[in-house]
């Protein structure tokens, strides 16, 4: 039999009573002496964690170690976004569900703990009885063939002595379940903050794209007026007028789809904040710029994910709970010892019910040991062992998935910035092309198709740049989520199960070129 596991620690209870028999005192020492089943140890990774992320920007140098800011959204310097996240944290229903599940897990732990404490109950009965005349007559009651009254009231007590640790393993598993529920809430919290931020950035990006589209509509409307005036003067053909109107209509047709996306983002943010879809319309429909990403983002080391990612921490707690349940199932192979007792009053007459002669009491040990269960107990042990293997595989997979998320987020963030820079250059070049084509057109040195092509290219480049600016911030949000950002600042963070080697505690940063 294994010693009591120290992770998590189980309070030891001893029996001490000056009037208790020696059996009870001996049971108290045995109660904390042994616990069947394997003791939990933090799982070792099948694949060692790399020293750094592969997708960090080229040429980066390690910076001084800096923890990932819990309120990472504050680095975007957007007061409205911070306000929306505060509202969501206070009123979101998914977060309330996660908090309710924590309370459920704590209640289940209390149920498990109660099994190791004395159980006391009371009872009171009244019966009108008639005993069989063909049975030996007992000493209780005055049964002359007509029956008698039976008044009974008392207290029953029992205490199962957890010699082999089945109850303690049950409590250990329940405690791990509580910790897993806490991590699940943190996972919901991270998802919630990232979803609010993502929809908010989407909202601002759509506002920017709508403004750009309306600007292009205004420019193209001026072009239509110019072409119509030249057509009236007989300088151009009606074909130029038709082409200019067609391009204006095409650009205008894109506006409703952008406005639909804008309204959907407003509705989604409202629901995330625990409000009806249109409750925040007046606040959010006011135009504001797209948040700007900070110049430097601390990403830390891969080993930091073991303590920052709630999904990894939750998977590790699931392994701990499953390991404890192996011991809980193994304890069924051994006998269960209990101390039982009863005290009460019993009489066949109400008048004598409270007299001293009506008292009765009993106390003594009890043993229950399953002899034959058709293989049920050992099958249950094998079941719990298989469940533990499943949870261990899920933990290993969660670590790999976390690494993949971060690598993908880093690649996306870096490439989105490169695309944004290229589009910014394209916008400048297209603006110059529009100016030159219009000058040549007015001078009669170029046909109108060149003007249309340059305006179309400018509109596409400006709209793409506006969309890309939002996508860069969204890529940053995905990176923060992948890194496990979004916990409350005051929450303590335990050390990872596989700490980094000395000299490798420096953090790396993903630069914003």
Q: What is the pLDDT of residue 169?
A: 93
Q: Which region, left, alpha or beta, applies to residue 393 given φ > 0 means left and ψ of -120 to 50 means alpha?
A: alpha
Residues 147, 130: contact at Cβ < 8 Å? yes
Nearest by Cα to 193 from 449, 3, 409, 477: 477
Residues 6+ apart with CB under 8 A from 406: 53, 55, 299, 302, 305, 479, 482, 483
- What distance in Å separates the CA atoms of residue 441 and residue 213, rounded to the nearest whole number? 24
Nearest by Cα to 509 from 109, 167, 205, 65: 65
Q: What is the pLDDT of residue 18?
A: 40
Q: How far lies 470's CA from each of 79, 283, 379, in Å?
A: 17, 20, 56
Nearest by Cα to 84 from 258, 260, 264, 275: 275
pTM: 0.80
- Which tens digits make up the pLDDT trace of 291-325? 998 887 777 778 888 888 899 999 999 999 999 99
Residues 6+ apart with CB under 8 A from 282: none
Q: What is the pLDDT of residue 487?
A: 58
**Which residues of the chain have a pLDDT value below 70?**
1-33, 55-70, 135-145, 486-513
Residues 299, 483: contact at Cβ < 8 Å? yes
- What distance in Å separates the CA atoms of residue 57 and residue 213, rounded to the nearest whole number? 34
Q: Which residue has the tokens 């007992």?
A: 138
Residues 317, 176: contact at Cβ < 8 Å? yes
Tell me the H-state helices in 273-359: 281-284, 305-308, 310-330
Q: What is the pLDDT of residue 72?
A: 86
| Domain limits, the chain | 45-117+165-333+389-511
Q: What is the pLDDT of residue 84?
A: 95
For residue 427, what is the enclosing H or E element? helix 376-442
CATH class of 45-117+165-333+389-511: mainly alpha
Residues 6+ apart with CB under 8 A from 120: 155, 156, 157
């Amino acid at each position: 039999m294994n010693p009591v596991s120290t992770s998590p620690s189980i309070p030891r209870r001893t029996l001490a009573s000056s009037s208790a028999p020696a059996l009870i005192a001996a049971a108290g020492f045995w109660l904390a002496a042994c616990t069947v089943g394997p003791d939990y140890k933090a799982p070792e990774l099948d694949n060692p964690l790399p020293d750094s992320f592969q997708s960090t920007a080229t040429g980066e140098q390690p910076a001084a170690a800096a923890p990932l800011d819990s309120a990472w959204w504050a680095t975007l310097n957007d007061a409205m976004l911070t306000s929306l996240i505060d509202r969501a944290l206070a009123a979101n229903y998914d977060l309330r569900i996660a908090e309710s599940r924590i309370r459920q897990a704590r209640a289940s732990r209390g149920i498990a703990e109660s099994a190791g404490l004395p159980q006391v109950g009371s009872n009171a009965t009244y019966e009108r009885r008639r005993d069989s005349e063909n049975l030996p007559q007992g000493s209780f009651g005055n049964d002359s063939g007509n029956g008698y009254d039976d008044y009974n009231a008392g207290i029953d007590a029992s205490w199962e002595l957890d010699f082999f640790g089945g109850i303690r393993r049950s409590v250990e598993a329940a405690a791990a379940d509580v910790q897993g529920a806490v991590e699940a809430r943190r996972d919901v919290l991270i998802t919630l903050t990232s979803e609010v931020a993502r929809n908010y950035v989407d909202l601002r990006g759509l506002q920017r794209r709508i403004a750009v589209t309306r600007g292009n509509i205004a420019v193209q409307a001026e072009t239509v007026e110019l072409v119509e005036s030249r057509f009236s003067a007989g300088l151009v053909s009606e074909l130029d007028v038709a082409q200019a109107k067609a391009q204006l209509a095409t650009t205008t047709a894109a506006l409703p789809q952008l406005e639909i996306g804008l309204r959907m983002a407003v509705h989604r943010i409202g629901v995330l904040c625990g409000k009806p879809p249109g409750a925040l319309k007046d606040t959010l429909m006011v135009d504001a710029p797209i948040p700007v990403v900070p110049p430097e983002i601390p990403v830390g080391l891969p080993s930091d994910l073991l303590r920052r990612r709630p999904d990894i921490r939750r998977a590790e707690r699931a392994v701990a709970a499953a390991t404890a349940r192996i011991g809980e199932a193994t304890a069924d192979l051994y006998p269960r010892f209990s101390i039982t007792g009863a005290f009460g009053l019993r009489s066949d007459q109400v008048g004598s019910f409270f007299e001293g002669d009506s008292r009765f009491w009993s106390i003594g040990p009890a043993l229950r040991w399953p002899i034959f269960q058709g293989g049920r107990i050992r099958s249950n042990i094998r079941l719990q062992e298989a469940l533990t293997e499943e949870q261990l595989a899920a933990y290993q997979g969660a670590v790999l998935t976390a690494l993949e998320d971060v690598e993908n987020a880093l690649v996306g963030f870096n490439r989105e910035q490169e695309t944004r820079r290229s589009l910014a250059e394209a916008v400048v070049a297209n603006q110059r092309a529009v100016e030159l084509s219009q000058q040549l057109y007015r001078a009669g040195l170029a046909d109108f198709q060149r003007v249309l092509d340059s305006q179309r290219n400018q509109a596409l480049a400006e709209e793409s740049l506006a969309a890309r600016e939002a996508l860069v911030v969204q890529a940053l949000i995905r990176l923060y989520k992948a890194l496990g950002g979004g916990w409350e600042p005051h929450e303590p963070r335990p050390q990872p199960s596989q700490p980094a080697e000395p000299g490798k505690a420096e953090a790396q940063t993903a630069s914003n070129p």
